[in-house]
Amino acid sequence: MTELRFIQVDAFADRPFGGNPAAVMPLDEWLPDDILQAIAEENNLSETAFTVRADGRVADYELRWFTPTTEVALCGHATLASGHVLIEGDEVRFATRKSGVLIVRRGEQGALELDLPQIRVAPARYPELLAALGTSGAEFFLSYEGAEATAIVLLPDEGAVRDCAPDMAALRDISLMAIVTAPAGGNGYDVVSRVFVPAWGVDEDPVTGSAHAALAPFWAERLGRERFTAFQASKRGGLVQCRIEGARSILGGRCVTMIEGSFRL
């Protein structure tokens, strides 16, 4: 029997049971892909992050992410969680297969900062997606240039975001990350969003770093400033401190370790 280290972390959370839970599993070497996928299915969290130590020249670790049903090209909250577990100095660098080198740094007052490539969206039409989201009269933006296809649906206000009730069965046939967002209603944050990815095994994601890689430049342009606070209004909810640095989206947040133990294989 093989025992693998297992750490469950609530990312973008300043208290237990908030933010987005991720499993972090540091490995000595890569296991077969079907075993990694089976482990993620067993964990049944939105993401399981697997790491293997790298040579340290370009990155400290190699990093891959799996939902219960598929491997994904980019996951922000599980990268932040991996940084929380593995950071030793001021930063830790992760080499990924499709998203380049991602860096987690120590921020202010115990927070961490996640450095992601920006995802830029452009106006588009996708009536089937809008119908699945149950929205009408919304502004729609789309990108296929990032690690995964990303859609932003701009709604008129925070109430419309919170009231959004998608047809999850219809969304399972649409392979992209669907983000609904709007200006906040004065609750101590600037913008609000929700994120739906049923096609990748997660109906509504609690707090999504990769979504904010797109929301950071999207809202920075509309707000006219490079820093703002975003709230993802899922049932668990979480705050993301967003800022723009060149072509990168810098996302700040805290993490809470919830479970530590061994996965027996």
pLDDT digits (tens, 9 = 90+) for 230-260: 999 999 999 999 999 999 999 999 999 999 9
One domain for residues 244 and 126: yes
Number of independent structural domains in the chain? 2
pLDDT(213) > 90:
yes
* One domain, residues 53 and 131: no
Collapsing DSSP to helix, strand or coil, 100 comes out as coil
Q: Examine the domain organization and report whether 236 and 181 are in the same domain.
A: yes
Q: Where is 262: in which H helix or E strand?
A: strand 255-264
Q: Please report which confidence band the pLDDT of residue 108 belongs to, taking 50, 70 and 90 as the band edges.
A: confident
Asked if 47 is an active-site residue, the reply is yes
Same domain, 138 and 226: yes
Same domain, 81 and 133: no
What is the residue range of 200's domain? 122-248
* 208 and 258 within one domain: no
* C-alpha to C-alpha distance for 177 and 254, rounded to whole angstroms: 23
Checking if the pLDDT of 136 tops 80, the result is no
- Check whether residue 137 and residue 243 sit in a common domain: yes
Note the pTM of the prediction, 2 decimals: 0.90
For residue 150, what pLDDT band results from cuts at 50, 70 and 90?
Answer: very high
Residues 19/238, Cβ–Cβ less than 8 Å: yes
Q: What is the pLDDT of residue 146?
A: 60
21 and 137 share one domain: no
Residue 254, amino acid:
R
Of the pLDDT bands very low, low, confident and very high (cuts 50, 70, 90), residue 147 is low
Q: Which CATH number does the domain housing residue 29 bear?
A: 3.10.310.10
Find the helix or strand (DSSP H, E) in which 250 lies.
strand 248-253
Is there a single domain that holds both residue 29 and residue 56?
Answer: yes
Identified catalytic residue from 42, 47, 62, 260:
47
Q: Are residues 90 and 206 in the same domain?
A: no
127: which strand partners? none
Q: What is the dihedral of CA 209, 117, 127, 20, to 10 degrees?
A: -10
d(CA 182, CA 58): 38
Contact 219, 256 (CB under 8 A): no
| pLDDT tens for each residue of 157-201 | 999 999 999 999 999 999 999 999 999 988 889 999 999 999 988
Dihedrals phi, psi of 160, to nearest 5 degrees:
-65, -35
Whether residue 186 sits in one domain with residue 135: yes
Check whether residue 138 and residue 72 sit in a common domain: no
